[in-house]
Amino acid sequence: KNPEILAAKGMWEMAKAKAPQVKALPDPMLQFELQNIGLTGFTVGKMDMSMAGISLSQTIPYPGKRGLRRQVAEKEAEGSRAMADVTRLSVLSRLKVAYYDLAFIHQSLDVVARTRNVLREFTQITEARYKVGEGIQHDVLKAQVELSMLTQRSATLEQMREGTEAMINSLLDRPPDAALGRPEAKTR
């Protein structure tokens, strides 16, 4: 359903349909001629220089040209098919890369969440030690800074997740905010 792939397929279909058409003879020409002398009346058949006529003409190309045109059109159709394949493979490649990026982001979010939980416990311990006089304020501040950095990293990863999901949805021709779910981890 990807628009790029559909457009490339359409170009290929158009090129395929063109091949039989280029072999055809050009359209015949039908002409009607009327030469009237004077503006006031109809003089055809009454005066020597007046006449009426019908002519039919057909252009016939040199032998072999039509076959060559068809061969060229067929080669162009083959090229369009190859471009459609390249487009399909390119979209598929971008989709796979985005999917693996999404899996990486989800795993990174899990790691950040686990680390943040451990760091919260550590922060609580350092604060408790500082309150009873066994710790120093520097350790408490350092733990709080690390905790805020992890929170910021989590927000950054969430933004990356949303962007990657939107890209995957666009490659699949779905609404940008369509739910994707969590990628499954591959087991070997």
Tens digit of each residue's pLDDT (9 = 90 or more) over 145-163: 999 999 999 999 999 999 9
Q: How far is residue 36's CA from residue 34's CA, in Å, rounded to a whole number?
A: 6
pLDDT of 117 > 90? The answer is yes
Closest C-alpha to 88, from 165, 10, 178: 10
Q: How far is residue 161's CA from residue 98's CA, in Å, rounded to a whole number?
A: 10
Phi/psi at 31 (5° precision): -125, 145
Helix (H) or strand (E) holding 78: helix 65-131
pLDDT of 182 > 70? The answer is yes
Q: How far is residue 87's CA from residue 82's CA, in Å, rounded to a whole number?
A: 9
pTM assigned to the model: 0.68
Residue 59 pLDDT grade (very low, low, confident, very high; cuts 50, 70, 90): confident
Neighbours of 45 (CB within 10 A): 8
Q: Which amino acid is at 33?
A: E
For residue 165, with 0-12 CB atoms within 10 Å meaning exposed, 13-18 middle and 19 or more buried, which class applies?
Answer: buried
pLDDT at residue 11 in the model: 93
Share of the chain above pLDDT 90, in %: 52
Q: Which amino acid is at 30?
A: L
Task: Say if residues 67 and 143 touch (Cβ distance below 8 Å).
Answer: no
Residue 45 is encoded by which pair of tokens? Answer: 């058949």
Give the torsion sign (CA, 49, 55, 58, 62): negative
